[in-house]
Amino acid sequence: MKNFADRLLEAIEKMENPSCIGLDPRIEDIPDFITKENEKKYNKTKEAVARSFFDFNKMIIDATFDIVPVYKPQIAFYEKYGSEGVKAFEDTVNYLKKKNKIVIEDAKRSDIGPTAEAYAQGHLNPEGFDVDAITVNPYLGIDGVKPFIDEAIKYGKGIFVLVKTSNPSSGDFQDRVLENGKKLYEVVGEMVQKWGVGTEGERGYQIVGAVVGATYPEQAKVLRKIMPKSIILVPGYGAQAGGARETIPNFNEDNQGAIVNNARGIIFAWKKEPYNNKFKPEEFHLVAREAALEMKKDLMEALKNQ
């Protein structure tokens, strides 16, 4: 069973692309030709929405799987529609795995004891969703994180711990200065590095990664030094105003160690300029491919010129 960090880095290297597509469907942003077809079959029901989600995702995946190594579905968009939505999530994960793609589930799960174990098993276990990695909230300490690490070790999976998130109010807690003079996100980064000791793969990276937003490049510089062996998942590119240049501090000097996510900027690019003037809604998947290639070019040029 290959180490998750090794698998992820090899996939990035093979595609020469450190980017990730977020599969966060919203029914109001899915082209009418998909939603209307499913409404004909299932009326205006949750099942129609869920089927539309999967059809939309499938077309995005088919148009991009040969250029993108990783996909990150955010489960909240699916859970919103109950069991039908969760089925669409599961179908999406299974389809990605058939394409040999790495799946990072954005769930930000956490709890303690048997509940944390149940979360970890339900998402990382082959009998559950069987995703390759999951985002985890560290607020409950090691009690809430260890069950995920244990499950990840057992099945060759990984986790990404929230350290410095991309949202504007992240500083309400994460930037608090503690008695030792360090900021909370720095201490969490130290814990992430500590939790990953012993999980290193052949390339030297740990299966315990971190989430650090592209919107905070100065903080990323500090965290990269604190967590040299952690792979950093970088949200906030594009829609949250983080550009390629802002993501660079998350990479190590060898241009490895980070994966940059973009959801809305790719899957809904068909609704925005300049694409909306050149493509029909029925060609949204082709737009997604163009946007994904543009992101790849953007990131690779930024890495080359750092």
Tokens of 57: 């995702």
Total residue length of the chain: 306
Q: Which two tokens stand for residue 37?
A: 């077809």
Q: Which of 108, 146, 183, 271 is catalytic?
A: 108
Position 291: which residue type? A
3-state secondary structure of 177: strand
CA-based max dimension of the chain: 62
Calculate ∠ Cα 214-278-263, nearest 5°.
Answer: 25
Q: How many CA atoms lie within 13 A of 31 on its CB side?
A: 21
Nearest Cα residue to 16 out of 238, 256, 212: 256
Q: Are 125 and 105 in contact (CB under 8 A)?
A: no
Q: Is there a catalytic annotation at residue 14? A: no
At residue 8, φ and ψ (nearest 5 deg) are: -65, -45
Catalytically active residues, by annotation = 108
